[in-house]
Amino acid sequence: MTEDSLIASQRTSAPESAVFLADVIGGLSSNPRMLPCKYFYDERGSALFQKICELPEYYITRTEIDILDRNRAEIASQLGPTIELIGLGTGAGTKTRILIEALEKPAVYVPVDISETQLVESTALFRKIFPDLEILPVCADYLQPVVLPSPGHEAARNVVYFPGSTIGNFEPNEALEFLQRIANVCHHDGGLLIGVDLKKDPNVLEAAYNDRSGVTAQFNLNLLERVNRELGADFALDQWRHQAIYNSSVGRIEMYLISEVDQFVHIDKHKFHFRRVEKITTEFSYKYAPEDVAALAGKAGFEFVRIWTDAARLFGVFYFVASR
């Protein structure tokens, strides 16, 4: 184990109920009310998200995959041979597979993911596809302190891979702190490959989070269903609706669950009163201009190397190296 851990204990199971309960009670007691988006990804939530990624309105995943696929050789060349690749929230591993297939003799792969089901499945698949690659899965919330395992194979350098534009779920100051932790793991000359959703037409953004088939609404409401199932709450799901809007003043998508009626909800020993049209915030997703991404990473201790993007500049895959 290394002392300069990523972001203290390594876990092999899903988040404990006590932590989940504390986060839910704390979030619903706050003003404005909120629920952490990291709890979207139980088994059903992860499956729903996979459906979202296939929707025509949701450009993010297919655009990022296309960027990786078209530029795989150049990206692999930048990352270099015999690296240790640390994947944060890589899910089913579709994008990571493209990357690993292009790398020259990768030494170690450390996937860190909160979804135990997806982590187990993707690890089993990757061990079949890449039998010579040392794979060390860690089931944990990478937003909390995570001690990374010590690999048996020696790597030339480590590269953190953070796909899917998840950096947008952080408030800007939290994003800076998170990138600083990553820089501490990378050391000098380590790398960061990160996916970022770029600023664009608000209509395109809002359509992506309010799909016509209602899958994103199911995904959002599943968070309440999980609270009911795991914490014994009594949210009436038919009395809540999904909404996502783009707030242009701060450059972010804001996703809510909105109470359709005046109602009470019980969780553990707590009783919460929700007025009609009162909102619970479930996700913020900041969108960035490329120069803002470079500036943020620069403050965290990274030097900008390259951006790969699509023709419409919807999405960017950025590569940085640690400068200290």
For the record, the structure tokens of 39 come out as: 């709890």
Question: Distance between CA 304 and CA 319 in Å, rounded?
Answer: 7
Give the model's confidence band at 1: pLDDT under 50 very low, under 70 low, under 90 confident, else very high: very low
For the record, the structure tokens of 205 come out as: 């953004």
| pLDDT (0 to 100) of residue 270 | 97
pLDDT above 50 (res 309): yes
| pLDDT (0 to 100) of residue 46 | 87
Give the model's confidence band at 112: pLDDT under 50 very low, under 70 low, under 90 confident, else very high: very high
Specify whether the CB–CB gap between 99 and 68 falls below 8 A.
yes
Give the model's confidence band at 242: pLDDT under 50 very low, under 70 low, under 90 confident, else very high: very high
pLDDT above 60 (res 15): no
| Adjacency order of strands within the sheet including 279-286 | 240-247, 252-259, 279-286
| pLDDT (0 to 100) of residue 147 | 84
For the record, the structure tokens of 278 come out as: 């009162």
Q: Secondary structure of the chain in the HEC alphabet?
A: CCCCCCCCCCCCCCCCHHHHHHHHHHHHHCCCCECCHHHHCCHHHHHHHHHHHCCCCCHHHHHHHHHHHHCHHHHHHHHCCCCEEEEECCCCCHHHHHHHHHCCCCCEEEEEECCHHHHHHHHHHHHHHCCCCEECCEECCCCCCCCCCCCCCCCCCEEEEECCCHHHHCCHHHHHHHHHHHHHHHCCCCEEEEEEEECCCHHHHHHHHCCCCCHHHHHHHHHHHHHHHHHCCCCCHHHEEEEEEEECCCCEEEEEEEECCCEEEEECCEEEEECCCCEEEEEEEECECHHHHHHHHHHHCEEEEEEEECCCCCEEEEEEEECC
pTM score > 0.75 for this model? Answer: yes
Cβ-based burial of 264 (10 A; exposed 0-12, middle 13-18, buried ≥19): exposed
Give the model's confidence band at 290: pLDDT under 50 very low, under 70 low, under 90 confident, else very high: very high
- Tell me the backbone φ, ψ of residue 94, rounded to 5 degrees: -60, -50
Give the model's confidence band at 11: pLDDT under 50 very low, under 70 low, under 90 confident, else very high: very low
For the record, the structure tokens of 236 come out as: 């009436």
Q: Secondary structure of 253-300 in the HEC alphabet?
A: EEEEEEECCCEEEEECCEEEEECCCCEEEEEEEECECHHHHHHHHHHH
pLDDT per position as a tens digit, 258-285: 999 999 999 999 999 999 999 999 999 9
pLDDT above 80 (res 196): yes
Lowest-pLDDT range of 38-42, 101-105, 187-191: 187-191
Give the model's confidence band at 65: pLDDT under 50 very low, under 70 low, under 90 confident, else very high: very high
User: Quick one: what percent of the chain has pLDDT higher than 70?
Assistant: 95
pLDDT above 80 (res 190): yes
Question: Distance between CA 265 and CA 4 in Å, rounded?
Answer: 42
Question: Distance between CA 221 and CA 58 in Å, rounded?
Answer: 18
pLDDT per position as a tens digit, 250-262: 999 999 999 999 9
pLDDT per position as a tens digit, 31-55: 999 999 989 988 899 899 989 999 9
Average pLDDT in the chain:
92
Rounded to an integer, the average pLDDT of 48-70 is: 95
| pLDDT (0 to 100) of residue 13 | 40
Rounded to an integer, the average pLDDT of 9-14 is: 38
Dmax (CA) of the chain: 59
Rounded to an integer, the average pLDDT of 181-206 is: 93
pLDDT above 70 (res 222): yes
Give the model's confidence band at 162: pLDDT under 50 very low, under 70 low, under 90 confident, else very high: very high
pLDDT above 90 (res 10): no
pLDDT per position as a tens digit, 130-158: 999 999 999 988 887 788 898 999 999 99
Give the model's confidence band at 14: pLDDT under 50 very low, under 70 low, under 90 confident, else very high: very low
Question: Distance between CA 82 and CA 72 in Å, rounded?
Answer: 16
| pLDDT (0 to 100) of residue 182 | 93
